[in-house]
Structure 1
């Protein structure tokens, strides 16, 4: 995992960090010319999630050259939003370089990205560039640079709350750059309870993600990551639909998990609380 240090308020460090980012992206672009070019030309306009019901609701999948939003309504939901966004990025750009831009204070609030954890999730840490910015403006600048790099497969742009810099104009710029370059962009937002009142955006789709309990493996080992996701908006398609999805790391796709619940219960079974003291049923454990 290649990390680029956060730039600060004064011009010199900011310029150096931006130059370092552009150099890293230039190297990725050079690799594309040397080996990624054929793969990029073969990519279709849409990418599926792998879960038949979800893909059908999406009309076959999500737009690849576009901007998508994943919202965490609470701080405790961040891991689910980040995991779901990363899984989408892996679906959109399998085997291709990724970039993750985030505000630096989130390392202390939600935890640092971990190379071992990324590998366990199915991502190649060596193919991920991490950029830390002091504020939303810095992260958005990194996102703009990433959106221009045709050598990237996808980029995740992580923002806390609803800063003034993240307005409709900013998302429209990102969306247009994604359409031009073919890079898939994922805007990860921790909305602190305001997910349903998120401001207007040019994103093709908007999702809300919450953690779901995984089913433990043998010896009580952690099971596959699970998410309770709601499609809040999808341009020209379905909206206000919810699914429980499990990320199949080894196969690289999602599958629906409704069949793993008690068959006597209806399809509207609520998710177990992720941030409270609960008595999990036998064989269940919290997944993060």
Structure 2
């Protein structure tokens, strides 16, 4: 049994090495994120028909969810999206907000959510969904460490995505990265939003996005602002910091006013 497993792992490692060496000969189709520096690092954007991973610490789950929703909207704005959620992920993170997803470029009418009892069921459902070439993308969301999401499972998802042309997005909250066949791997945190307009209660969503794996190039880290109207990421615009007004009741201010009155 051990010999068979070692042979399987050796075969998978060889396949992965061949993919990384020759996988970009014909140049995969890509979709730009909109953020100039990140797109340059990614050779034009995220590769389609591939697996991409987004990781977040437990308290950064909302930021990672928003980031992956923005990516999904960029990949397939007019195609159905299947979002597979492990039961425990929904318990920990809460239900997805249709209004929030719409702000991030997803049409809630094209979204199909599936709750899976455990990681095994979530993996099976994701693989089945990836086989449907009518979809734009499939999101697999899990919470915590999951030994089932190993190199073999990643390889199966990659092959399914390549066969159908459907992109797989893995949202991993409160988990540590492990070896995989993912095209890219991101670690996402929330970043400070710029001051909002007086009539708006909230600023634009801003993400601290760190690319820690890029099969076809270097890695990097950027602050990405989501433009709701354009439905794309961008480099945050510079804005002046608010400056506190000088209090009028300070002694030197009072003296100055008194001198002004005497002079007049």
Match of 1:243 in 2: 222
* Structure-1 separation of matches of 2:108 and 2:77: 13
The alpha-carbon deviation at position 49 of structure 1 amounts to 0.5
Match of 2:164 among 168, 175, 181: 181
Scaled by the length of structure 1, what TM-score is found? 0.71
Q: Deviations over 1:62-121 (max 9, x none)?
A: 11110000000x211101111111111111112111110011222231111122222233
Q: 1:244 to 1:258 in 2, by over 3 A?
A: farther
Scaled by the length of structure 2, what TM-score is found? 0.77
* Structure-2 separation of matches of 1:226 and 1:152: 28
Q: Does 1:253 align with 2:236?
A: no
The alpha-carbon deviation at position 175 of structure 1 amounts to 0.6
Q: Deviations over 1:230-282 (max 9, x none)?
A: 0001002111x1100011122111101263486xxxxxxxxxxxxxxxxxx88
Q: Does 1:51 align with 2:35?
A: yes
Match of 1:225 in 2: 205
* Structure-1 separation of matches of 2:91 and 2:35: 34
The alpha-carbon deviation at position 221 of structure 1 amounts to 1.4
C-alpha RMSD of matched pairs (Å): 1.7
* Structure-2 separation of matches of 1:95 and 1:217: 30
Q: 1:213 to 1:182 in 2, by over 3 A?
A: same
Kept after mapping to 1: 8 A contact 2:188/2:207: yes
Structure whose CA Rg is larger: 2
Aligned ranges 1:1-288 → 2 under 5 Å: 45-72=29-56, 74-192=57-175, 194=176, 198-215=177-194, 216-239=196-219, 241-257=220-236, 259-260=238-239
The alpha-carbon deviation at position 213 of structure 1 amounts to 1.9
Q: After TM superposition, which residue ranges in structure 1, 4 or more long, deviate above 4 angstroms? A: none
For structure 1, the 5+ residue unaligned runs are: 1-43, 263-280, 283-288
Kept after mapping to 2: 8 A contact 1:102/1:157: yes
* Structure-1 separation of matches of 2:141 and 2:240: 32
* Structure-2 separation of matches of 1:175 and 1:47: 18
The number of residues matched between the two structures is 215
Q: 1:154 to 1:63 in 2, by over 3 A?
A: same
Match of 1:272 in 2: none
Match of 1:29 in 2: none
The alpha-carbon deviation at position 229 of structure 1 amounts to 0.4
